[in-house]
Structure 1
Amino acid sequence: MLPSRGVVFETGSYGDPAATNQRDYWRVAFQLVKRAKFDLGMLVLMSAVLIPLDIHLKDWLLSTKAVAVLGIAMSIFIGFRNTQAISRWWEARTLWGSVVNKSRCWADGLRGLLSKQQWQSARTQHLVQLQVAIAWQLNFELRNFWHPDLQLMRQQLLHQLALPVNSTVRSLSAQRAMAIQQLAEEQWISERGRIHLLEISDAMTDAVGGLERIRNTPIPPPYDLFVRVINWVFGTQLLLSFESQGSPITGILLFFGFLIAERIGAYVEGPFDQDGSSFSMPLNTICVGISEDLMPSELDYGRYRPSRNPVFWN
């Protein structure tokens, strides 16, 4: 039943759902222009050279039917590429969702399996901190890039765990596995509890492997080259065709539209980019969420403050 008019609703402290506001559209446009500056520069140069020249268009232009067929093919290729790019991005986000959930399960599992005294022990708290360290290390390894204050926070966390600064996701995961073995050997947990914690650890390993696959396997270079070349061929034909009809500006704008559409797909294919734009994933924000779930208010992020705005959320 819908609430009646005039009812005043209270606002919680959880923040609004992430969304792009219309006033931020210019920021998205700026990010696109910044990323595609080389392509846009080439478009401007090509337009400046071809439009003023008195060339014999019939020697350059394809037939109208050929241009139409090329346009259909271009739309299919761009649509397919963008669909695959979004699929890669969404799979990465789903896997990071699994990292978040399994991190919570790790802490909840320890709390449920151990006694109150054991849960409050420094040993158990180190196991919780270890999971947080794994999440941050995975963030940095996927991007090969970090905010200086977050890197300092990570070093301090590893120092608390008495682990080397050059620890990797693999070495930290091995530490987690050995910790599970020690809990079982010292009878802090039962065999069933050991299996439960190992299942959480295995699920984390699966998520890490999936994220590394996405990071290390770009779209096949021949396909990338083919789509980009055919896009420029089609765009050039559009430009010349509308120039022959006395509407060069229309040709430039259409060329610009196809160029940007193709470039968006190329940018979204890399969900772990370094520039913190809306093309990449909110890895820092996700890791802050994991940290606050497992270690509320214990970590100092320095000057870094997470944002829920998808335009600049990294």
Structure 2
Amino acid sequence: MWFNNIHLFRLHDAVEISVDELAYAMGSHAAVPLGNADARRIGWTPPAGRLNNWLVREVQGQRLISALRQERLLPASVVKEFVDDEVAEIEANEGRKVTRKEKTALKEQFTEELLPRAFVRSHKIDLWWDTKRNLIGVNASSRTRAEDVLDLLRETLGSLKVTPLSSQTLPIRAMTTWLGDTASRPADMQLGDSFELKAKGDDGVVRARQVDLDSDEMQQLLESGRQASKMAISLEGQLSFVMHDDLALKSLRFGDALIEEADHADDGDDALARMDTDFVIMAGALGQAVDRILEWLGGEAKTGGENEHAQ
């Protein structure tokens, strides 16, 4: 139970809801198999999988819930091939050109016919809910996938006032400063050896790994106006990640000390207890890391909580 990526969100005016109440509400939106006519669907699934059917795990105020996203894989090229064959047959038999409207109707027809035979891809997305910090983190590779889970949670609860976590200093500005000025780097932060620089114009993106971030070449790139949009960072040996300009933390790697702490926990052979231990240790490390990152970035930006994503 260790996240790979995390998109962070702030809960505003969070309503108190017990684990039992939350689990009951989630039950009405639990994942079910896709119907033949369904292209995609998302619903709640037990975080522990076959180990336990509880929809919510809570340890020390840290909640873990999971969504199952299912979608049928029907490549557009497959549908196009059926449409092209049908169009060719109609034109040959009837001696006329098939109209664009007819092609659109054929596309819809073949999509409907082929969908039930398409493979189903399932993807589990975990959500960490820190009830003490009113913070939510979604383990998803993209913000779009994270938003899908938040939409499901909003539908489940009836209302959810949440905004992407934001800082007083923009991450792209802070990362650029850290690259260009070694004295500006926080004492407990260590820069990694990979980065991405964006140009303000149309000069593209520079990506590099295993480079000297303090080299003359790097300084020349910064002096040309490029800004750091991604950067590998380590925090006190506890956690390493790639920070993105939207404050997403990707490629999470937890320190050896944390892994050893989890390994040495007295869980016996209880796989469920081990999952809970891993989760609470991970959640503790992530919470502390978020607190520290916000300090690096001048604190959290003030929002009204009634704007984006609030319903």
Q: Which TM-score band applies after superposition, normalised by the shorter structure?
A: under 0.3
Larger Rg: 1
Q: What TM-score does the superposition give when structure 1 sets the normalisation length? A: 0.24
Structure having the higher helix fraction is 1
Q: What TM-score does the superposition give when structure 2 sets the normalisation length? A: 0.24
